[in-house]
Every structure is written in C-alpha cells, then in structure tokens.
Amino acid sequence: MLHAPKGSATMKSSERGIGLPSHKFTFSQIFGPETTQAELFQDTIKSQVSEFLDGKNALIFSYGVTNAGKTYTILGTPKEPGLLPQVLDATFQYIAGRQYEAMDLKPYLRNDAQCLGPDQIKQERSAKTAIFASFKEVSGFYITNNWSLPSTFSVISILLLTCHLSLSLSLSLPLPPSLPPSLCRLPHPVVSSPLGSSQFALWVSYFEIYNESVYDLLQPPLCSKSKKRAGLRVCEDAAGDTYVRDLKWIHIKNMEEACKLLRFGNRNRSAAATKMNQSSSRSHSIFTMKLLKIDGSTVQRVSEFSLCDLAGSERCNKTNTFGERLKEAGNINNSLLILGKCITALRNNQTDRMKNSYIPFRESKLTKLFQAVFCGKGRASLIVNINQCASTYDETLHVMKFSAAAKQVVQVIPAKSLESLAPRLVGRDGKPLEALKSYLSEEELLDEEDEADMSILPQNELLNVIESLRAKLLAERRKNLVQEMEIRKEMGDAMLQQLMESEELRSRQMEELKESYQERLENTFDMYKDAIKEHAYQCAMNRVEDDYVPVEEFIAEQENAEVQYNRMSHISDS
C-alpha cells in the first residue's frame, strides 16, 4: 500500500477530488531489509543466468528514483556483492577448466564472431594491458559519501516475477557504489560445469549513455580536460539488430580481471552531487558480457548478458539542479519516459492485437540498443528500487504505476528467433568466411558427398565448364556492380532533387515571410503617420480654442482702437 503523505502532489490532488490518496499494488513476494544480495540473486535472475550460459540472451534493468539504491543493487559492497559480481562469478564457475585461452576469436557486431590476425591479437593484448597497468599506483577505489540515513528510514523490497518478462521491485540501502578488489566464491555453485569438448571465451564491454550520447568507459581518460570524449555511433547490422560501433571488448579470464575492468569503468562514469544524492549517477551504464562457445576453431554460438544501471528519475525542484545538471536530468527523464512508452505500447499490442500501435524504440539510444531483446531475441527483467522517503512519494508512485504496466507484458520468444542467433564467423576484414566456399578448388568441391559424379566427362570439357562458369560469375559481378552504380546514382539524384526542392521551398518561404514583414512594416508606418496627423490636428485645435475671441468683442475692440487712433491723430495735429 502507498499512502500519500501530507504536502505531496498526490494528497493535494485527492483533497480537490482528483485521484485517490492510497494505491494498492500486488506482487508475488516481498523481501524485507534482512534479505541478502545472494538471496536476491537466487530468487530473481538466477534462471536468466542459466539461460545465458545455455546460449540465450538476457537483459537486466535497475530502475527507480534517484538515491534509491540502484547502483548498490547492481554492484553491491565487498561483503555483499551485487548482482553483477554474482553473475560474473557464476559464469567463471561454469566455464572453469574449459576456457579458450587464445584471443583470436572475438565478438563482432551484435551476434557474430570475428577471427583475428596476429596484429589484431597484439592490439587486443595491448589494450587490456594498458587498462590493468593504470591500477599499479591506485591504492583504493571506494567512493565515500559523507552522509547517513535517518534513523526512521526503513527499507523494503518487492519482487514480482511474470511469465516471460520478469519485473523485480527491490529496494536496497543506497550505499556507496563500489566493488571489492577480489570476490570469494559463492558458497554453492549456481550452475553445473559443462560437459563435452567445447571451450568458452568471455568478452565484456562497459559503456554509458550520457546526454543521449554513447561513451566507452573502457577507453583511457583524456590527458586534457578541455578535450571532449569521442561519442560512439549506434548502428544496425544486416539482420537489423543494433550495436555500438567501435566499442572496446576485453577478453577476461577470472574475477580479478573483471573487478579491475569495473573499477576502471566506474572511474570514467559520469557522476555528480545533487541535493538528494552526493554521488548521483548522471548516465545509464551498461555492462555487457558475451560468452562464445567454441568447438575447435568454430564458434558454435554467442550469448549475451547485459546489466543496465539506469540513472535515477528526479524532479529538478527537489534536487536543486541547474545548468549542466538540469540538462542531464532532462535527458535522463526523457529516456526513461520513452522506455515507459515502449513498455506501454508492448502491453497495448498484446491486449489489442488488431491495434498494433507504434513502439517508439528509435526515439532513445537506450531503447534502440535493446530493441531486439524486447522483440523476442532474449529475456528482459526490470528491477525497480523503491525509496520510502516521503519527499519522493510522487516519483515513487510513478515508478510503481510504470511497474504495474510492465507486469502485464508477456514477452513471447518465437522459436525462429533462436535460429537467427546462430553466429557468423567473419575474417580480419569483417567479411564472412562462408563466402570462401565459392573459391574452393575443384578437388575440394568434389569431396562433398552430395556432389554429382563428374568423372565421366573428359578433362577438356571439365575445363570448359569451369571457364564457362568463371565467365558467368564475372559477368554477374559486372552486372551487379553496374546495378549498384545505377542505384547509387538514382539515390544521389533523388537526394539532390530533394535538397533542391527543399531549398526552393525554403527560399519561397523566406520571400513570403519577407513580404509579410514588409506589409506589416508599411501598415505600422501608416498607423504611426495617421497617429501623428491626428496629434497635430488636436494640438492645432487646442491652440485655436485657447486663442479664440468672439466676433462682437473683436469688432468692439477694433472700433475702440480706431477711436483711440483718431484721438491720437487729432492731438498730434493740434
């Protein structure tokens, strides 16, 4: 139950007869303040970790108002490791003794793998060594906060698990976001070790979405503070799945390396102090793991597990944000709003399949990146952290209503989508290695069991057939090249025509605007001219009224003046 406290916007609205002062939400299980991080892991995302290790994709969000403990839920403390360290630990337990030591196979695009050459392997090792070398002179990494919780502050956790899209509502103490330098093994293994001859390679990335721009947190910090970080582009592969271009992927082998990467990334993450949180996350950070299952030199599958620590929603009048903090808060709230719109649209499409409303995945980098997961290529969970402080009641109520909408979403994972997740193996230049089959020798082609028996043809005829096929192949390539050039030319002409039309339209609009302003200026000038004439006429009339003399008085005065003049003339003559 949520009861609106006095002074909240919800209570004021209910007093005016708008809305209710209390709201009730039902969930499958409630975790009290005594719940440990290990228990939260066991009862929330353990099943998704098992699916990830079995070759499926998973996505975890932590969502809530600012200072609700989202980062603590994901990272935890040295004594209580959060969800991310526990996922890493479970993964290393699973692949223990079967790790692929070489670094010649690396994740590529969204679901593919790339075969690296010797120079590329050197570059990967150098990048990894550079990150680990930065910790030689660092004695500690904990972020300290000089504040304490009120003595009356109580903590609850709410957990909800649905059929496919699981919504976990959990509140944990908002402790400093830090990670232990080394983590002990969990007391009980999460999953059993795999059987067979397959090997596994774990690659990770760490990036943030700050002010709707993507930044790599595993890039070395810039030497000069005046230089801006280089933003990364969000692109699409041939299958339409989104990925971050030029994102750095690091091959890790144990928990120590994983913790170093997390410490390195957290130092680069955007954070600032606000009125409600001394170390408030000002960006959405995404830590992604990709597990490659390798058989010999072939990548059998690539599974992905992403944990997204969302920045907290906030009201600027309560956090006293202004300037750069105000811009950050606006972008944070906008991206969370779009996430809510996507969840609502998914729910509406399920309840009314004939409606099929538009889902605004592309309106935000956050939703665009994970569109494939929401559309069935993986399983998503939402962990919502609740802050019981009365001052954040209205924001908390909004969070709960959003979670209620997400509760009704049932994520349908079609069977065909699992087939599309089969990775392609590409070469050093990024081209699929499968294309090399077109250039195999005749002897290799004849080794196929389903090939027809061509031995009855003479050698000369076989050579002629080969030359004929080669000529047809070259002709087809020329034809495709010409078609591509024509299409590019048509697209360029269409683009140029569109630009010219838009420029012409803009010029026409400018002329119309100029004429409109000219007409307004002339009307204004005529208005002022008429006003001046009217003012001059009124002034003249006022002067005439002031100097006006009646005719009778004027005649009498004139006659009096003549009499006086005659008298003066008579006196002068005498």
- Which residues contact residue 272 at a Cβ distance below 8 angstroms, ignoring those fewer than 6 apart? 279, 280, 282, 325, 328
Strands 105-108 and 112-115: antiparallel
Beta strands in 510-572 (DSSP E): none
CA distance 194 to 260: 27
**Residue of 307, 319, 458, 449 lying closest to 383 (CA atoms):** 307
* Assigned token pair, 449: 């069991």
Q: Phi first, then psi: what are they for 242, rounded to 5°?
A: -85, 150
- Which residues contact residue 518 at a Cβ distance below 8 angstroms, ignoring those fewer than 6 apart? none
Beta strands in 100-184 (DSSP E): 105-108, 112-115, 157-159, 166-169
Degrees, nearest 5: CA angle 170-171-172: 120
CA distance 330 to 353: 33
Would the annotation count 70 as a binding residue? yes
Instruction: Provide the residue type at 554 as one letter.
Output: F
The H or E element that residue 167 is part of is strand 166-169
- CA count, 13 A, side-chain hemisphere, 355: 11
Any alpha helices (H) in 78-190, and if so which ranges?
83-95, 118-133
Strands 298-309 and 58-64: parallel
CA distance 214 to 366: 9
Is the Cβ–Cβ distance between 164 and 410 less than 8 Å?
A: yes
* Assigned token pair, 346: 């998914």
Give SS3 for 47: helix
CA distance 259 to 281: 19
Would the annotation count 136 as a binding residue? no
Q: Backbone dihedral region of 64: left (phi > 0), alpha (psi from -120 to 50 degrees) or beta?
A: left
Would the annotation count 475 as a binding residue? no
CA 426 to mean position of chain CA atoms = 28
The H or E element that residue 154 is part of is none
Would the annotation count 67 as a binding residue? yes
CA distance 247 to 249: 6
* Assigned token pair, 45: 């995302």
CA distance 467 to 472: 9
CA distance 33 to 40: 11
Integer angstrom CA distances of residue 319 from 7, 8, 322, 348: 17, 16, 9, 34
Tell me the chain's radius of gyration from C-alpha atoms: 38
Q: Which residues are annotated as a binding site for ATP?
A: 64-71
Q: Which residues are annotated as a binding site?
A: 64-71
